[in-house]
Amino acid sequence: MEEKAIVVQNLVKQYPKVRAVDDVSFSVDKGEIFGLLGPNGAGKTTTIRTLLTLIPPTSGETLIYNVNTAKNSEEVRRMCGYVPQDVSADGDLTAYENVLISAKLYGMPPKERKQRIQEVLNFLELTDREHDMVNTFSGGMMRRLEIAQALVNRPKVLFLDEPSIGLDPNARRIIWGLIKKLRDEFNTTIMMTTHDMGEADVLCDRIGIMNRGKLATLGKPEGLKAAVGGDIITINSNNPNCSLKLKELGYSAITDSADGNFDLIVNNGETLIPHLLEGLKAKGVVVESVSLKKPTLDDVFLKYTGARIEEGDTFAETRRARQSFTRRS
Amino acid sequence: MKVLSEVRKYFANAFIIAELEMRKIRHDQTQIWVRMVQPALWLAIYGLAMSKLNAMSANIPAGLTYLQFMTPGVLAQSALFVAIFFGINVVWERDLGLLNKLLSTPASRSSIILGKALSAGVRGIFQAIAVIILAVILQVHLILNPLAILGTFVVIVLVSMCFSCVSMAIASLVKTRERMMGFGQVMTMPLFFASSAIYPISIMPSWIRPLAYVNPLTYSVDAMRDMLATGNLHSLPLDFAVIIATTILFLVLASLGLKKMIS
Ligand SMILES: Nc1ncnc2c1ncn2[C@@H]1O[C@H](COP(=O)(O)OP(=O)(O)OP(=O)(O)O)[C@@H](O)[C@H]1O
Ligand SMILES: [Mg+2]
């Protein structure tokens, strides 16, 4: 069996009042971008913190590159980089100093250090602000700095806890580009959590959806979406025989509303539409409009957690905004 | 060989943490200056006033003026008053998420505590310098040879480390800044009064004397008094032994507490 980057087996974390992580098992391949998705309080952060040996699990076993996190915590921490959910760069130091201290704590030899720090600052486009105090940074720059700190020791596994929360769309896209680049150029294994469906869809090779401490489902984004159901093609036509003609062509509409909308559930909607339209035309049905809706991760999320993700998102956003506010004041 | 490299790594990490704190002080030096005010007042106002009191002068070791007697006490006091609130910084860093990040690095828990304690020690030195300069200005006759000054700095660093570890250990139990503030205030005065900092143990109320003998502050005052005022060094080994042992004890307790702090 090929060695995995991360293995989590029957992980349980019981707090006095809540079971934050409840018998979770999964594994992550080397070079994979793995996303944990879930509403607030699902146990995403707790899972990451146990993997990083910050909190001891109640039971279960976790391995990183075959090293047992309970038995050799220092070696595990040496292999990993961590960008916590909360702001974690030190506002009372410059950007350069923040990265310098990280480099030193990871035991980087002085000879390589200078060059390596310049490399990461450059990679994260912070070079022109490197000697500015961090408490003057914007949220996006702060996040990039935190990623720089986590990357300076070239981690084999990078943990990103909600990397783009609280950032504007532009800053968000910059971070996404970086994450992709990291994996493509350095084959870094990345485990991230997010509330953002779009982000998970764009970035992650595989996604685990967590809810109330349990792993509700796990798979590739396309697979998860397919499992929710196929694409939906909606045809609008004034022809009263439309439903019948569709049947003759071998399709059955799930809805047949009075205003002339017909919904079909199909696979590969975009390749099907031309054939469908030609078929209907041949049968003399005039189609006014046609639309295609692909299932989104949001639909997947809704199915497994019974909640739309937006609700959680705003709350977490406020919390983060509030935290960054207190640290500045 | 393995042990040796582990030990080296341990101290290297502690020094990196201390460096981090020092860099912060370099960016914002106001706190250093502000903290020089209080010990200066103790010496220049309280000390000068008390030296007029005959009862006090009669009970201090023969040959010493009250200010000579008191200067080492003020040195220890200045270290204590700052270090005992050190835990607040750690709670603050926990709240900010900085501690989380530090603990995710390979540095061990206790090397992080040791580094923070060392930084408290270095802060203490700045105040000590201010007190000594003021004493010179007030023409307090002190033994100021390089060895005595070096020894004094060592004691200041140790006593700051000791009480900052006490403070961090308490912080891991109380977990909020407000409560930590309260605990600091409750502890400073008893520690200060139950020591020989500003009056000899012989004139204390008798019930408080045993307390003075288990108070590490007493031993640090004594060590500095031996080096700076009397020049009689034979209790020095005991003083150092007590201070070092309590520092290690609280270093261990604070390190154990650090785990609780973030879980
Ligand atoms: N130190 C703690 N003590 C007690 N309960 C805790 C502690 N940390 C987390 N919990 C609880 O464990 C559960 C999972 O929390 P966790 O932070 O892992 O969720 P999350 O999925 O990261 O949520 P979010 O999206 O809000 O970050 C929550 O119910 C939380 O209240
Ligand atoms: Mg979280």
Q: Give tens-digit pLDDT for A118-172.
A: 999 998 889 999 999 999 999 889 999 999 999 998 999 999 999 988 788 888 8
Q: Domain for residue A66, yes or no?
A: yes
Q: Are residues A194 and A243 in the same domain?
A: no
pLDDT band, residue B154 (cuts 50/70/90): very high
Q: Are residues A173 and A251 in the same domain?
A: no
Q: Give tens-digit pLDDT for B193-246.
A: 889 888 888 888 888 888 889 999 999 999 999 999 888 888 999 999 999 999
Picking from A163, A196, A224, the residue at the C-terminal end of a domain is A224
pLDDT band, residue A328 (cuts 50/70/90): very low
Q: Are residues A179 and A76 in the same domain?
A: yes
Residue that wins the pLDDT comparison between B15 and B260: B15
Q: Are residues A66 and A28 in the same domain?
A: yes
pLDDT of A309? 55
Distance CA A236, CA B153 (A): 87
Distance CA A79, CA A102 (A): 13
pLDDT band, residue A311 (cuts 50/70/90): very low
Percent of chain B with pLDDT over 90: 54
Interface TM-score (ipTM) > 0.90? no
Q: Give tens-digit pLDDT for A97-107.
A: 999 999 999 99
pLDDT band, residue A308 (cuts 50/70/90): low
Q: Is the pLDDT of residue A326 over 50?
A: no
Q: Is the pLDDT of residue A310 over 60?
A: no
Q: Domain for residue A311, yes or no?
A: no
Q: Is the pLDDT of residue A298 over 70?
A: yes
For the residues A16-24, what does the mean pLDDT come to? 93
Who's near B193: CB < 8 A, 6+ residues apart?
Answer: B208
Query: What 8-state DSSP symbol labels residue A307?
Result: S
Least confident stretch, A26-35, A249-258, A272-281, B152-161: A249-258
Residue that wins the pLDDT comparison between A314 and A1: A1
CA distance A67 to chain B (A): 14
Q: Are residues A243 and A108 in the same domain?
A: no
Least confident stretch, A239-248, B105-114, B149-158: A239-248
Picking from A197, A224, A251, the residue at the C-terminal end of a domain is A224
Pocket, ligand 1, Cβ cutoff 6 A: A 15, 18, 20, 38, 40-46, 85, 316; B 263
Q: Domain for residue A125, yes or no?
A: yes
Q: Compute chain A's Rg from CA coordinates.
A: 24
Q: Which residue blocks in B35-145 are alpha helix, DSSP H?
A: 37-41, 48-50, 54-59, 66-83, 86-96, 98-103, 109-137
Distance CA A270, CA A238 (A): 23
Distance CA B169, CA B172 (A): 5
Measured from the Cα of A48, ligand 1's closest atom is: 18
Q: Are residues A21 and A43 in the same domain?
A: yes
Who's near A92: CB < 8 A, 6+ residues apart?
Answer: A133, A134, A135, B24, B27, B28
Q: Is the pLDDT of residue B84 over 70?
A: yes
Who's near B258: CB < 8 A, 6+ residues apart?
Answer: B103, B109, B110, B112, B113, B168, B172
CATH number of the domain at A250, please: 3.30.70.100
Q: Are residues A220 and A238 in the same domain?
A: no
Residues in B touching A166 (Cβ below 8 Å)? none
Q: Give tens-digit pLDDT for B52-63.
A: 877 777 777 777
- Judged by CB atoms closer than 8 Å, whether chains meet at A149 and B263 is answered as no
Of B12, B106, B262, the CB nearest to A54: B262
CA distance A124 to chain B (A): 19
Which ligand is in closest contact with the Cα of A214?
1
Domain that holds residue A125: 4-224
Q: pTM for the whole thing?
A: 0.85
Mean pLDDT of chain B: 90
For the residues B102-116, what does the mean pLDDT come to? 94
Q: Domain for residue A171, yes or no?
A: yes
pLDDT band, residue A1 (cuts 50/70/90): low
- Judged by CB atoms closer than 8 Å, whether chains meet at A86 and B262 is answered as no
Distance CA B161, CA B124 (A): 9
Q: Domain for residue A130, yes or no?
A: yes
> Hey, which residues 80-119 in chain B have their CB within 8 Å of chain A?
95-98, 100-108
Of B9, B27, B262, the CB nearest to A92: B27
Q: Are residues A196 and A265 in the same domain?
A: no
Measured from the Cα of A43, ligand 1's closest atom is: 18
Q: Are residues A250 and A144 in the same domain?
A: no
Q: Give tens-digit pLDDT for B112-140.
A: 999 999 999 999 999 999 999 999 998 88
B124, B18 contact by CB (below 8 A): no
Of B20, B101, B263, the CB nearest to A55: B263
- Judged by CB atoms closer than 8 Å, whether chains meet at B263 and A54 is answered as yes
Q: Domain for residue A81, yes or no?
A: yes
Q: Is the pLDDT of residue A86 over 50?
A: yes
Q: Domain for residue A72, yes or no?
A: yes
Q: Domain for residue A322, yes or no?
A: no
Interface test with A, best of B10, B104, B108, B119 (most A CBs within 10 A): B104
Mean pLDDT of chain A: 86
Q: Is the pLDDT of residue A95 over 50?
A: yes
Number of domains making up chain A: 2
Domain locations along chain B: 2-262
pLDDT of B45? 87
Q: Are residues A212 and A277 in the same domain?
A: no
Q: Is the pLDDT of residue A327 over 50?
A: no
